[in-house]
Amino acid sequence: MTIASNIETILEAMAATARSCGRDPASIRLLAVSKRHPCSSIEEAMKAGQCLFGESYIQEAATKCLDMDPSVSFHFIGHIQSNKAKQAAQLFTMVESLDRYKLAKALNKHLKALGRTLDVLIQVNIGHDPNKSGIAPEEAPELLKQISALSQIRPLGLMTIPPRSQDRTETRLHFKNLRLLGQDLAHQDLFYDNANLELSMGMSSDFTMAIEEGATIIRIGTAIFGDRP
């Protein structure tokens, strides 16, 4: 299968799922996770019309031609050490994996110097999985309150990677819980745009379920680009 046909297949499944649960397909974005894949694969996806990509490693992203085309944008979805905040502030239109105030402060400082603002999502460890990063759900309000004082950072919603499970009912419950948490925080006016909550959840094996539970961004790597080299 080619990258172009993989993207087409996923876009069709996204649209069909959205329609089946009464959602507008245009309200869901496909993030093509291009980590550990070469620029040539990104270009192939661009030719198929894909313009949103995800990277997980700052050092790798810095070597890629992220400025190849102004219509293309990149989200960061991995762990950021605070000493890489400057590069993150330069390279990405959104950081989906913000999980601590110290990092937010470091990003804000560099964004100010660059004259940029940055959209962020708070990464939440929705299943309290000891192997996953992200803050505990109950810590999200406090972090958002702290971030609200930072002029260059716009928190738009939440991101999660649920615990690995064979039980789809359990995975669905984690997606639902992320949505309920996001809606609760939006009711408390803790996001930049509380009427347009972003929820990044769902990957290759479970994105249709995530869409049914309210995902606005799904993150797909392998099902588009194949196995990572």
Ligand X SMILES: *Cc1c(COP(=O)(O)O)cnc(C)c1O
Task: Verify binding: residue 88, ligand X, rule CB under 6 A.
Answer: no
Residue 99, token pair as written in the block? 């999980």
Q: Which of 5, 58, 51 is nearest to 30 (CA)?
A: 51
CB of 114 to ligand X, least distance (A): 25
For 64, 122, 133, 189, the CA distances from 197, given in Å and listed in that order, are 30, 12, 21, 11
Nearer CB in complex with ligand X: 56/148: 56
CB 132 to ligand X: min, Å: 10
CB of 204 to ligand X, least distance (A): 4
Q: Quick one: which of 32, 158, 210, 220 contacts ligand X (CB under 6 A)?
A: 220
Residues 17-36, one symbol each (x = binds ligand X by CB under 6 A, - = not), give ----------------x-x-
Structure tokens at 39: 């620029």
Closest approach of ligand X to the CB of residue 78, in Å: 6
Q: How far is the CB of 121 from ligand X (least distance, A)?
A: 11
Q: Interior CA angle at 84 toward 156 and 119, to 5°?
A: 15
Near ligand X by CB under 6 A, which window of 114-122, 124-132, 135-143, 216-224? 216-224
Scored b (16 or more CB within 10 A) or e, 87-106 reads: bbbebbebbbbbbbbebbbb
User: What DSSP assignment string belongs to 15-42?
Assistant: HHHHHHTT--GGG-EEEEE-TTS-HHHH
Which one, 121 or 150, has the nearer CB to ligand X? Answer: 121
Window 126-165: contact mask with ligand X (x via CB under 6 A):
-----------------------------------x----
| CB count in 10 Å sphere of residue 41 | 18
DSSP 3-state of 140: helix
Q: Rule CB under 6 A: which residues touch ligand X?
A: 33, 35, 56, 77-78, 161, 203-204, 219-223
